[in-house]
Amino acid sequence: MIEQILHTEIEKCLSELYSAEQQSIQFQKTRKEFDGDITLVVFPLLRASKKGPEQTAEQIGNYLKEKVSQVSDFNVVKGFLNLSISSDFWLNQFIEAYKIQNFGFVEVDENSPTYLVEYSSPNTNKPIHLGHLRNNFLGYSVAEIIKASGKNVKKVQVINDRGIHICKSMVAWQDFGNGETPESSGIKGDHLVGKYYVKFDKQYKKEIAELVTSGMEEKQAEKESPIFVKAQEMLLKWEDKDAKVRSLWKKMNAWVYSGFDVTYKRLGVDFDKNYYESETYLLGKKVVEIGMEKGLFYKKEDGSVWIDLSEEGLDEKIILRSDGTAVYMTQDIGTAIQRHEDFGFSNMAYTVGNEQDYHFKVLFLILDKLGYDWAKNCYHLSYGMVDLPTGKMKSREGTVVDADDLMQEMVDTSKSIAKDLGKLEGMSGKEADELYEIVGLGALKYFMLKVDPKKRMMFNPEESIDFNGNTGPFIQYTFARIQSLITKYNSEISDIKLVDINKEEQTLIKQILDFPNIIQEAATNYSPAVISNYTYELVKEYNSFYQNTPVLNAENEDVKMFRVALSETVSTVVKNAMKLLGVEVPNQM
């Protein structure tokens, strides 16, 4: 708002002072060490003024101070004009923002373009684990942020429900399961299937060792291990639609889906459509014929189909094996096209770890070469891996940290800390349990989302749940404190009067008014970290204000009402921002 006003007035100024039109007018936030609210970069205007940077800045500053009511003062630092905006302007802007229920959010027009966000996409041979958590939190949050920026959004996933890894769990269950089910064992379905994936690996290694001891080469032993041969045979039977194999596959997958549903509900994530690899793995094969006709793909002597991307700085990529079976690239091409047929999306983001960076470069390039205009608007939301202080994880060896276990650990830690800090006064047992859940899961989500997605991160459970510093609980506690203050005020906020505001109040107002821009920035960059760190800075600034400025003991009723309204607006922005991260905020802590 203020930038638009200043832009118009500076154009008038340049015309009057220098007879110049259509100049490059650039603003930036004033650096903290200087007085001012917004800074004009003067260097691009020197050609028009034909004067030095400081003289030009002084002339423009004097013009604006005299002619523009919103500009109260200015100072010049080299080629930068730091403008101070009047407190009345900020207060009026705040009063308008206070009246808007979903301040910062852009209402979604049903006719606006659809953005697709893919995330999660687990395998059905094991539970969702720590790595999936960052994926789920990122994908869900990015979808919510894009929605808040005014776009239609659909959330999708592709479930990897076929292949040799799935058959490994099935074979191990047949050999060692004795008919065990989630009901008979009391084990969650996805955990039960994961248990047999680990069993397969242990048996596989044991058999390899025995074959090597009997004199076989290790590589040959890996191929001829009896349990591995069984898994390969089962995969062939699955592809031939063998009734018994398909029946077992459906039964064990159903156990996993039931388990996934429980995990997703606790994570607070959802999907508009699930795609299944068992249904999509053949989709891309028909596209191969189109690519061949266009001369985009070519066949080698063994019958395999390839594309040469060396002119684009990449390499040759296989599209179809010599036996006619699809590779992952083929599937992804077909699935992308199917999704466009389903949703007619304008943009699609894939939330997948950075080890797949090259894969997505190739995928988007092939789709573009096939003539799909929307390929240019496909984006790989690439993220770094999550490490724990305890070291690396391996699913097949059973050393992975399951999402369910980690969530429960976070809730238990929250319970322990809350008791130690005495934050449970006047709460019933049920209310306390709800608080542990909100704080524990909020700590987990916030800690993972505050880091730039592209960076590899170390997740430290103890650090994440600290009530001080850049953590979820710190922000939640500030929100709860404001709710307590509003309850104590116990009066209706009517018309907010124009009162004198101090520097901390003005800073808070400016941060609140920045929220719409922050949402747009986070949506453009597919980065929940932008929201996280904005919220932390807002809460820090509020705590400084709260400690130094009397609210309920303000000097008069008008000032008191304004400060309560300011506090309430901070809490509303915090609640909405944290909601975009999938984090709840409790009214009491």
Residues 113-125 pLDDT 10s: 999 999 999 999 9
So what's the pLDDT on residue 423? 66
pTM: 0.92
Hey, what long-range contacts does 105-108 have (CB within 8 A, 24 or more apart)?
A: 105/148, 105/519, 105/576, 106/148, 106/149, 106/150, 106/516, 106/519, 107/150, 108/147, 108/150, 108/151, 108/152
- Rounded-to-integer distance, Cα 10 and Cα 25, Å: 8
Out of 32-46, 211-225, 233-247, 379-393, which region has the weakest mean confidence (pLDDT)?
379-393
Residues 206-246 have pLDDT tens digits of 999 999 999 999 999 999 999 999 999 999 999 999 999 99
Q: Above 80 in pLDDT, residue 419?
A: no
Residues 88-111 have pLDDT tens digits of 999 999 999 999 989 999 999 888
The DSSP bridge partners found for residue 152 are 114
**Which CATH number applies to 2-85?**
3.30.1360.70
- Rounded-to-integer distance, Cα 567 and Cα 292, Å: 64
Q: Above 70 in pLDDT, residue 393?
A: no
In the chain, ranges of CATH 3.30.1360.70 domains: 2-85
In the chain, ranges of CATH 1.10.730.10 domains: 405-580
Residue with tokens 């994440």: 464
So what's the pLDDT on residue 199? 96
Q: Above 80 in pLDDT, residue 306?
A: yes
Mention the CATH class of domain 405-580. Answer: mainly alpha
